[in-house]
Amino acid sequence: MDVRKDGRVRKNRETTEEECLEQTSLYEIEHLILRNWFYEMDPSAVRQLRGCGEQRICRLWSDFRRDSEELWAGWIDRERLSGLLIRLPRPLQQTEAWLAVMKFDSGTPQCYFTLELGEDRNSATGVLCSWSRDGTHRNHGVMLTNNPVSFLEAVEYELQASSTRNPQ
């Protein structure tokens, strides 16, 4: 069995479908598959996310894993942030994520943020990170509890700080 560039597991003659589903890690889904899906999204798909984002995420997730019970997604509209908030299954390893948000501007994918489990696997805290379209990972150095409101506030703060540092 081998993993393709898009994160999907390629079946060979000895690999069962069940083994393929169990081999795709949370990290690969959260940081490769969801990120690529987000950045490659067309405007019509973005419109669908407003009404059925959770179903779309769950369907995508089920292509790779069976542990979707904790998965939740919903559209958010805040002053500085509009997009899809995703609560992911509990992270088990450092860098797996608690939460993710896909930020859109006028239906165009803009940025992808995650709240990743830190060094203490028993902690309910994580570090704020972001992923660019080209796959560049940035650790913002902000430790947060696994709380969607705190996460969104930290993302908004980073977006504001970024626009101040890099005015258009």
Rg (CA), the chain: 16
Residue 125, pLDDT > 60, answer: yes
Please give the pLDDT value at position 167: 58
Question: What total of structural domains would you count in the chain?
Answer: 1
Q: Please, which pLDDT band fits residue 116 given cuts at 50, 70 and 90?
A: very high
- What is the C-alpha separation between 104 and 37, in angstroms, rounded? 13
Task: For CA atoms 152, 91, 131, 66, give the dihedral sign.
Answer: negative
pLDDT of residue 19: 44
Q: State the pLDDT at residue 20.
A: 42
Average pLDDT, the chain: 81
Lowest model confidence (mean pLDDT) among 52-66, 99-113, 114-128, 138-152: 52-66
Owning domain of residue 71: 2-165
Mean pLDDT of 86-111: 90
**By C-alpha distance, which of 40, 136, 144 is closest to 97?**
144
Structure-token pair, residue 134: 């080209």
User: pLDDT (tens digit, 9 = 90+) per residue, 7-62?
Assistant: 444 444 444 444 444 557 888 888 888 898 899 988 778 887 887 777 888 888 87
* The pLDDT of residue 105 is above 70: yes
Per the CB < 8 A criterion, the answer to whether 136 and 118 are in contact is no
Predicted structure pTM score: 0.79
